[in-house]
Amino acid sequence: LLLDLLPPGVCSLLNPAAIYANNEISLGDVEIYGFDYDYTLAQYSNLLHSMIFNTARDILIEQFKYPEGLGKYDYIPGFAIRGLHYDVQKSLLMKIDAFHYVQLGTAYRGLKPVPDEEVIELYGGTQHIPLYQMSDFYGKGPSLKQFMDIFSLPEMTLLSSVIDYFITHGIEFDQVHLYKDISDAIRDVHVKGVMYKWIEKDMEQYILHGDEIYAVLNRLVNHKKKLFLITNSPFSFVDKGMKHMVGKNWRDLFDMVIVQADKPNFFTDRRKPFRKLDDNGSLQWDKINQLEKGKIYKEGNLFDFLRLTGWRGSKVLYFGDHLYSDLADLMLRHGWRTGAIVPELETEIRIINTEQYMHSLTWQQALTGLLERMQMYQDAESKQVLLEWMKERQEIRSLTKNLFNPQFGSIFRTFHNPTYFSRRLVRFSDIYMASISCLLNYDVNFTFYPRRTPLQHEAPLWMDQLCTGCMKTPFLEEMVHIR
């Protein structure tokens, strides 16, 4: 039956190297391309996460005097996913959907799941998190913190490991102090430059896609596009990384390079003026009245940047990996076009393209349709059948979740709703992709048109046919060829 429901070619429908549009955007209208550096131009291997975890763990033991037994904990690849929320007071790491509901089965205290009943009890008999407790514009709420940075994967794992140790050994701890200590230890890894030294020492091992980044930048310059870089990283680190990926003359490609920008404050705070660096990275003292090509600038703010360059509105497209720090202000306050870099997209699409996923999803949809249609039958025998269908549907949903991540599932969906992360992705980015290199698959004048996905009252015109055993998805044959 499942094979009859699935049309030919559906298991290779999505292309991991494609760019996906939330909003219609024509690259032909874009004259200026801006980039973040870390996890945008420079993509890093997962080995970096283990190094961050180990170093922060050792800082906790040696400087914060945490128990030496923590040294037995190693980084667990694939434990956490991006976009999770952490309730500081309850020591809960969990996935929340776009409607502020906790996805049951995805709440963890330490390294162990918390039973659904306990989660509901902790939130006063509901799975819902009230708006006043939720994250603010930048992912920080009064009691909940959202982890949106790819660098936060080791932080979440360390947080869970330390809590696991304390609970296992019956040690009482103050949740607020513990969270702050771990945040400070992770921050020290970045602020004190330890991470930069590892990457500089072995760029071949840590930096991915270097040749493709050169190809993207070179192609844009050849088509008379202006390029700029705004990053929070220091100049010496960016300089070495760009020389590795692009070549010693990488600065010739950029009209503007701004380092240690202190995003997101760069986009909202008018107080910090720009400072110029010389070719050795030393600070200059002169007042900045213009931003010159080939020069390096530090700090500054977007308001001076706009005044000095005149680069405004939809002719500017800026790429970054952090939805809050990189993209939110630019889209909502300044009208720039934005592109989100989501490296996890590649892995998730490969999973979606598997026969196992498509079979699970199709049968889940079919069962949902049966439950919806047959729920009016309330005799004893029918009720039993309905219960069995509900149980089977729940089992399939769990199976589908586990294909992405056994603890938390996909970063884009709960069982059926978009995640809180996914809703922010749609809100703050015109387009999104796994890597900047995806731009190489499109003409520089290409127009991205978002697919007309159904609103719920339009759904019978679309995928609902699955539930009747007849699949007639509009434009399916055309979509198969968009590869």
Query: Would you tell me how many other CB atoms lie within 10 Å of the CB of residue 115?
Result: 12
Residue recorded with tokens 């977007």? 302
- Is residue 229 within 8 Å of 254, Cβ to Cβ? yes
* Strand-pair partners of 418: 413
C-alpha dihedral over 149, 152, 156, 157, to 10 degrees? 130
Query: Would you tell me how many other CB atoms lie within 10 Å of the CB of residue 377?
Result: 11
- Is residue 54 within 8 Å of 336, Cβ to Cβ? no
Residue recorded with tokens 């499109």? 442
Residue 156's alpha-carbon distances to 49, 78, 178, in angstroms, are: 11, 11, 12
Helix, strand, or coil (residue 25):
strand
Of the candidates 248, 198, 233, 179, the one whose C-alpha atom is nearest the C-alpha of residue 35 is 233
Q: Which of 4, 29, 38, 262 is catalytic?
A: 38
The answer to whether the annotation marks 36 as part of a ligand binding site is: yes
The answer to whether the annotation marks 188 as part of a ligand binding site is: no
Distance between CA atoms of 197 and 43, rounded to whole angstroms?
16
Distance between CA atoms of 124 and 119, rounded to whole angstroms?
9
Enter the tokens of residue 433. Answer: 């992709």
Is 38 an annotated catalytic residue? Answer: yes
Q: Which of 29, 36, 278, 430 is catalytic?
A: 36
Is 255 an annotated catalytic residue? Answer: no
Distance between CA atoms of 3 and 7, rounded to whole angstroms?
8
H or E, element range at 35: strand 32-35
Residue 92's alpha-carbon distances to 156, 193, 270, 405, in angstroms, are: 11, 30, 37, 18
* Strand-pair partners of 141: none
Helices marked H in 223-318 — which ranges?
A: 235-245, 265-268, 302-309
The answer to whether the annotation marks 38 as part of a ligand binding site is: yes
Q: What single letter denotes the amino acid at residue 183?
A: S
Annotated binding site for GMP, which residues?
38
Annotated binding site for Mg(2+), which residues?
36, 321
Annotated binding site, which residues?
36, 38, 321
Question: Which residues are the active-site residues?
Answer: 36, 38
